[in-house]
Amino acid sequence: MNFHEYQAKDLFAQYDIPVPKGTAVKSADDAVAVAKAMDTHQWMVKAQVHAGGRGKAGGVKFAKSLDEVKQYAGDMLGMEIKTYQTGGMALPVNEVLITEAANIENELYLSLLVDRANKCLSFVASAEGGVEIEEVAKTHPEKIHTLTVDNTETLWPYACRKIGFAMGLTKKQVFQLTHIMMQMHKMFHDLDLSLIEINPLIIDDNQNVVALDAKINSDDNAEYRQKELAKLRDKSQEDPAEAKAHEHELNYIKLDGDIACMVNGAGLAMATMDVIKLKGGEPANFLDVGGGATAERVTIAFKIILSDPNVKSILVNIFGGIVRCDLIADGIITAIKEVGVEVPIVVRLEGTNVEAGKKLLEDSGLAVIAASDLDDAANKAVEAVGA
């Protein structure tokens, strides 16, 4: 789950990580009221969307008067922003953040993420902030500093101080950075996060270290114990089909192809997509209905699949281990009758009660294409697209 900048900064403030004062608003008049209440004469107006690159798309403006605050907020609210990070979607701007403008002496970079290679958490820091960290790593790898946090130990302040001195900070700033890193680590564990990124982390004109921007991602698998965080979800920033799938505990990701996949199990879903590619086809989605698939979930899955106008055939690949094939077959039949599927459907069943499941499909009178195995199913799904 992603968070808006203002939500991330609110969480930062709760963990005593310094951020500029700011408030998110939904109207230009409220923007002016918030700006007036601040002890400053310069403000930043920032569109709140789940993507980087807002500035180049007109989503970040420096205002030197209340009239400019009102103008920029009015221009942004209601606009749609599409950047290299939106996955082709144009995200609506429903809120803008009004924050005091900072006097920047220097821009740094700091993040904490799940390091899968080392199977632990790692900090990534750089004296080059405000730019794409990937480009810095490519062109100036010596400017990237990494701190891995051993799972059998805690995060030690001395290790944070080493990073600060390596970045060329003063003694005062090193201790401030150490505090921020320690709080980030605590926050990461407390809130079940998967990423914290501050870009830029700045040195202001008072020589203090401040988080000027904030990006946070949380682990959806821990949502059941992070109820307050779950309330912050903004579905307007998500693909509608993916948001609907999330509501029904389905794992769905839209892709660019035309062969839809409905599979039970993430590994089997990945294998199904691979075989479709091997046969010359293009998967339209990743969809895992889970081990506890029911007729209702299968019906919802069909509706989500068919919301994509690019879908020209559907491959249903079910291995009946926890769930019985006859129950899945019954769900497929119910779903097809309710939804009214007009594209070819290829079904491959294997596992518990497979024969009973196949017979139900055969006797249904529906135009379902039976497949003997995954290879056969992929061939038939690809052929159906070209038919």
- Per cent of the chain over pLDDT 90 is 66
Which 8-state DSSP code applies to residue 199? E
Of 94-98, 160-164, 306-310, 336-340, least confident by mean pLDDT is: 336-340
Q: Check residues 8 and 367 and name the one with the higher pLDDT.
A: 8
Around 140, how many Cα atoms within 13 Å sit in the side-chain half-sphere? 12
How far out from the chain centre does Cα 113 lie? 14
Residue list for the binding site for substrate: 264, 321-323
Q: How far is CA 5 from CA 2, 56, 85, 211, in A?
A: 10, 17, 15, 11
Q: What is the pLDDT of residue 249?
A: 80
How do residues 36-62 score in pLDDT, each as one tens digit? 999 999 999 999 998 877 888 889 999
Rounded Cα distance between 230 and 154, Å, is: 27
Q: In the chain, what is the straight-line distance between the N-terminal and C-terminal CA atoms, in Å?
A: 40
Q: What is the pLDDT of residue 5?
A: 96
Please report which confidence band the pLDDT of residue 104 belongs to, taking 50, 70 and 90 as the band edges: very high
CB 345 within 8 A of CB 368: yes
Residue list for the binding site: 46, 53-55, 102, 107, 199, 213, 264, 321-323
pLDDT at residue 239 is higher than 80: no
pLDDT at residue 32 is higher than 90: yes
Of 11-25, 231-245, 372-386, least confident by mean pLDDT is: 231-245
Of 86-95, 117-126, 141-150, least confident by mean pLDDT is: 86-95
Contacts of 12 (CB under 8 A, 6+ apart): 18, 19, 187, 211, 214
Which residues face 106 on adjacent strands?
203
Q: Check residues 320 and 98 and name the one with the higher pLDDT.
A: 98
How do residues 345-362 score in pLDDT, each as one tens digit? 999 999 888 999 999 999
Helices (H), the chain: 5-14, 28-37, 66-76, 133-139, 157-166, 171-190, 227-230, 240-247, 266-278, 295-306, 325-339, 354-363, 374-386
Which 8-state DSSP code applies to residue 373? S
Q: Residue range 151-165: average pLDDT? A: 95
Of 111-115, 272-276, 324-328, least confident by mean pLDDT is: 324-328
> Fold identical between 21-101 and 239-386?
no
Is the CATH code 1.10.1660.10 the one for domain 239-386?
no
How do residues 310-346 score in pLDDT, each as one tens digit? 999 999 998 877 678 888 888 888 888 888 888 999 9
Residue list for the binding site for Mg(2+): 199, 213
Residue list for the binding site for ATP: 46, 53-55, 102, 107
Q: Could you list the active site residues?
A: 109, 197
Architecture of domain 1-20+103-238: 2-Layer Sandwich (3.30)
Rounded Cα distance between 243 and 382, Å, is: 28
Q: Check residues 306 and 18 and name the one with the higher pLDDT.
A: 18
Phi, psi of 3 (to 5 degrees): -130, 150
Is the CATH code 3.30.1490.20 the one for domain 21-101?
yes
Angle between helices 374-386 and 266-278 (to 10 degrees): 50
Going by DSSP bridges, is the β-strand pair 209-211/215-218 parallel, antiparallel, or unpaired?
unpaired
- Integer-rounded Cα radius of gyration of the chain: 25
pLDDT at residue 387 is higher than 70: no
Q: What is the pLDDT of residue 293?
A: 65
Which 8-state DSSP code applies to residue 385? H
Q: What is the pLDDT of residue 248?
A: 80
Q: Residue range 5-19: average pLDDT? A: 97
Q: Is the pTM of this model over 0.85?
A: no
Q: What is the pLDDT of residue 89?
A: 74
Cβ neighbours of 37 (radius 10 Å): 10
State which amino acid sits at residue 106: N
Mean pLDDT of the residues in the chain: 91
Please report which confidence band the pLDDT of residue 246 belongs to, taking 50, 70 and 90 as the band edges: confident
CB 211 within 8 A of CB 141: no
Q: What is the pLDDT of residue 366?
A: 87
Burial class (CB in 10 A: 0-12, 13-18, 19+), 342: exposed
Q: What does the domain layout of the chain look like in residue ranges?
A: 1-20+103-238, 21-101, 239-386
Q: Residue range 248-271: average pLDDT? A: 91
